[in-house]
Structure 1
C-alpha cells in the first residue's frame, strides 16, 4: 500500500518529500532545505491531499520545539593593568605616589583620578601614617588632605585581612565629619579610590532615609564608614553599628566640630572604639587652637604633626576684591555684577540662614536661576541642589559657611561674600571654592557698615592688606523687576 501511494504521487522510495512552498523560512532568511530544522520555529508538515479512493493516512503529530537555551551574557573584557602603565617621571621637589609602597589596585585608581604627584600634605602625612603612626594635620580644604587619609586607610585595610567572624555593622575604618555635604564628598572620593579593591564604603548622615541606610548596612559588610556624629550615634545606640573592630579612625575638621558643639557626641563615639593604643587615629583641623590640641592629646598616641600654611589655600590664583558698600545697596550690587557680566557659576556666602533664604528668593524673583544651601534645607534637596550646581543647571548657589564646607566643585568662577565672615578662617574657606585645580578665580567681598570691622583680622590671617574699592555707579542702579524663571534643579 505504501509503495502504491508513493507511486501515485510520483515519488520514489529513495527520494525525500520536497518541502511545501508554504514551509516557514528560517531566521537566516533561507528555507531549511537539506539542513537541520530550525529549533526556534515550529516544524511544518507537508500538505498531502489523498484521492477519494485512497485510505486516509493519519498525519504524525508535529514535534514540540525545545525551549531555546538562555545564553549567558558575555563577561566584560578585563584589560590587565600593571604598575608600569602608570609612568611618572621623578621631579625635583615633588613626591610621587610611586615613592610609597601602595597596592596596585590603589595605584590604578590614583592614575584614573589623574594624580601623579602628591600635594604637600599628602607627601608629609603618608610618610607617617603608612608606617602606622598617629597624625595631626593642620590644613584647609582643597589641600588634598581627604586623599591623604583615605590612601592611608585603604592601604591598612588591604594589608590586614578582615576578621573571619564579623557582623555586617562592624566597620574597620571610621571617618567622622561635621557636615552632611562633607560626608558625602569624602564617601565619593573613597568610592573612587576603592573601585578596584573590593572594599565597601557606606555613609550615615542625618536628613536622609534612616531605613534605606539601615538596609545598606544589613546587605553587606562595611569596610569604611563615613558619618556625621549624630546619625552615627543613632545607629550605635540602636545596636545596628558596633565600633569595637575599628582599626583606623579619622576626625576631619575638628575645629568645626568644636564650634558646632559636636564634641560630646564624638566622645561617646570614641568610647565605643578600641583603646587609642590599639587603633590608628588621624585628626585634621584648619586651626590648631588650644582646645583642638587638648582633644588630640586625649585621642592620639605620640602623633606626628603636619602643618600646611593657610597661605597655600588663599593662593595667587584667586584675585581678591573688596567693595565698600552700604547694606541697602548690597543686593543691587550683587544682581548687577552677576547679570551684567553673564557669570554662570557663582557662589554667594552669607552669615545667617535667613540672609541666605532672602538672597536666593530675590534672585529667583528677578529671573536668576539660583538655589540655597543651608541647614534648613532637607538633605535630599541639598544633594540635588549640589548636583544641579555641579552640572551647570543652577547658576548661583547661596550658602552659609556650615553648608559651604566640603564643597569641591571645579569651575566656580566667582565667590561673593555678601557679608564678611565673623571668623577669619572662614574667609579662606570661602574663597577656596574658586581658583581650584590651578584655574584662575575671583572673590569679591561686600564690606558694609555692619561687617567691615572684620577686615583687619582677615588681613592679619592673610599676611597682607586688601584695598577697598568703591563700586562703579552703574553697578548700583536699581534692579528691573522681571518674571522669575522656572527653577531647574
Structure 2
C-alpha cells in the first residue's frame, strides 16, 4: 500500500503532497474561543481583551490550507469590516430653550445617545427625566416616585448608557457578566424596557439582553453565547435561574435598577431580589436607582438598605391621570356588566380597547364570552405562556385583536399607543392600580377615555380612588340602549 501511494504522488517517504497543508506548529493558531468558558462545576475563566467575539470575521489563517503551494500563505490578521460612516451631527437636532422645560441638550450626553433620542422624537425631558438625570448623570443613587407613562424608563436607560460609555469595559471579561442590571416584576415590563433600551443604544454599540420566565431557557442562553452582555433586563426568578447555574455573574454590575419596587413587594419577589443583590458589588461600588409608584414605609426601608445617600424625586400621580384621560363611572348591577361592556364596544365601533378585571378567572370568562359573541379578544394574565403573550401583544398593537382583557399584574407593563378606551370591569382593590389602568390610554399627549363599572361588590373602592385623585368622579346611570340583551350568535 505504501509503495502504491508513493507511485501515485511521485514522492519519497519524507515528502508531502504539494497541496497538503503544512504540519501544525507547537503554537496554536489564533482562533475564536468558545464563548462559554466556564460551567458551574469549573472555575470561571475570564476572556482576555484581545480575544475576538464569537461573531468576529474568520481569521485569514483559517483559509491557508486552500492556498496554492506556490503562493506564500497570508499573515494572520484580525480583519474588521469598515466602520459605518455616521453623517448625523448634533446640529441636526435643534431644540429651542423654553421656559419651564429641560432639554436633553442641557445634559452632557454623547452624540450617539443624542442621535437615538432625536430618532425617537423627544425634544424635551419629562418631569421625572429632568429630575432624575440631574442627579444620576453625576453618579448619585436615586429613588424616583412616578407612574408608568411618565418617561421613567428612558430616565434610567439614559443614565445607564452614559455610565457605560464613559467607563471603558474591563480588559478581562466573561461573556455572562453584565455591566448594568435592570430588575422588573413582570415579563411584559421586561420586554418593553429591553425594546426601549435597544432603541436608545442603536448607535452606541452596547448589547441589550432580556431574561424572562415562560420562554425557552436554551434560546435565552444562546444570547450569552453569541456576544457580551452590557445591559441585562430580567425578572427576578429567571435571573436567579441563570445565576444559580453559573451562566450569569453579577460581580461587574456598575449600575443596578429596581423598577416598580412596590409591585415587587406585592408579588412577593423581595426575597429573590435580596439574593440577586447579594451577588452584585457592594452598594458603595455601584450606582443604584429605585423606582416605585408609591413610597410606602416598606419601599423606603428597602431603599435605605440598597442605596447610598440617594436623591429623592417625586412626580405626583394626579398629573398623569386627570389631564389626558376623560373618566366616567357607571353604576351597574353585576349581572348587567357584561351586557354593558359588549354594547359599549359594538355600538360605538371601538377598535382598540383594554378591559381590566381583578382575577384571572374573570379575565378568562370575559374573553371567552366576547369571542363567542363575535368580538375579537384575547386575555393577558399570569396563566398565559410567555410566547403567546408576545404574540397577543403584537396582534393587539397591529389591530388584529380588538379587545385585550387583563389583570393588573399582566397589564402593568403594556405600553401601546392608540388605546382609545380603558374599561374597568371591576374596580381595583388598590387605588394606585386605578391610575395605572387608566394610564394605558391618553398616552403620548393623546386623549383617552376610561369607563369604570361600579357594582354592588366593588363600589366601596370608589372613595379611596377619589381621595388619591384629589377629586370626585360623577357616577352615571348607563343609557337604556347600552343594557339591551346581547344578540345570540348561531
Q: 1:75, CA displacement in angstroms?
A: 8.0
* Aligned counterpart, 1:351: 358
1:299 alignment partner, one of 303, 306, 311: 306
1:185-210 C-alpha deviation (Å, 9 max, x unpaired): 00000000001010000000000010
2:131 alignment partner, one of 121, 124, 133: 124
1:112 alignment partner, one of 113, 116, 119: 119
* Aligned counterpart, 1:474: 481
* Aligned counterpart, 1:190: 197
1:106-147 C-alpha deviation (Å, 9 max, x unpaired): 000000000000000000100000000000000000000000
Q: 1:467, CA displacement in angstroms?
A: 1.1
1:327-352 C-alpha deviation (Å, 9 max, x unpaired): 00000000000000000000000000
Q: 1:79, CA displacement in angstroms?
A: 4.7
Q: Secondary structure at the match of 1:442?
A: strand
1:441 alignment partner, one of 436, 448, 457: 448
Alignment map for 1:63-102 (pairs within 5 Å): 78-102=85-109
Distance in 1, Cα, partners of 2:324 & 2:156: 26
Distance in 2, Cα, partners of 1:311 & 1:178: 24
Q: 1:252, CA displacement in angstroms?
A: 0.1
Q: 1:221, CA displacement in angstroms?
A: 0.4
* Aligned counterpart, 2:6: none
Q: 1:383, CA displacement in angstroms?
A: 0.5
User: Is 1:386 aligned to 2:402, yes or no?
Assistant: no
* Aligned counterpart, 2:144: 137
* Aligned counterpart, 1:327: 334
User: Is 1:336 aligned to 2:336, yes or no?
Assistant: no
Q: 1:77, CA displacement in angstroms?
A: 7.2
Distance in 1, Cα, partners of 2:359 & 2:413: 18
Distance in 1, Cα, partners of 2:158 & 2:460: 42
Q: 1:284, CA displacement in angstroms?
A: 0.2
* Aligned counterpart, 1:464: 471
Q: 1:81, CA displacement in angstroms?
A: 1.1
1:427-459 C-alpha deviation (Å, 9 max, x unpaired): 000000000111110000000000000000000
Distance in 1, Cα, partners of 2:335 & 2:468: 29
1:258 alignment partner, one of 265, 269, 273: 265
Q: 1:482, CA displacement in angstroms?
A: 2.0
Distance in 1, Cα, partners of 2:121 & 2:100: 19
Distance in 1, Cα, partners of 2:271 & 2:82: 51
* Aligned counterpart, 2:368: 361
Q: 1:217, CA displacement in angstroms?
A: 1.0
Distance in 1, Cα, partners of 2:390 & 2:325: 27
1:141-176 C-alpha deviation (Å, 9 max, x unpaired): 000000000000000000000000000000000000
* Aligned counterpart, 1:224: 231
Q: 1:78, CA displacement in angstroms?
A: 4.0
* Aligned counterpart, 1:273: 280
CA RMSD of aligned residues (A): 1.1
Say if 1:235 and 1:396 are closer, same or farther in 2 by CA, change over 3 A.
same
* Aligned counterpart, 2:253: 246
Which of structures 1 and 2 has the bigger CA Rg?
1
Q: 1:218, CA displacement in angstroms?
A: 1.4
* Aligned counterpart, 1:310: 317
User: Is 1:205 aligned to 2:207, yes or no?
Assistant: no
Distance in 2, Cα, partners of 1:300 & 1:85: 38
Aligned residues: 410
* Aligned counterpart, 1:46: none
Distance in 2, Cα, partners of 1:316 & 1:172: 39
Q: 1:474, CA displacement in angstroms?
A: 1.0
1:234 alignment partner, one of 241, 262, 273: 241
Greater Cα offset, 207-216 or 77-86 = 77-86
Distance in 1, Cα, partners of 2:84 & 2:225: 31
1:166 alignment partner, one of 155, 173, 185: 173
* Aligned counterpart, 2:295: 288
Distance in 1, Cα, partners of 2:106 & 2:137: 12
Distance in 1, Cα, partners of 2:200 & 2:489: 46
2:163 alignment partner, one of 156, 160, 170: 156
Segments of 5+ residues of structure 2 without an aligned counterpart are 1-80
Q: Secondary structure at the match of 1:461?
A: helix
Distance in 2, Cα, partners of 1:434 & 1:460: 21
Q: Secondary structure at the match of 1:296?
A: helix
Q: 1:415, CA displacement in angstroms?
A: 0.2
Q: Secondary structure at the match of 2:290?
A: strand
1:297-321 C-alpha deviation (Å, 9 max, x unpaired): 0000000000000011103221000
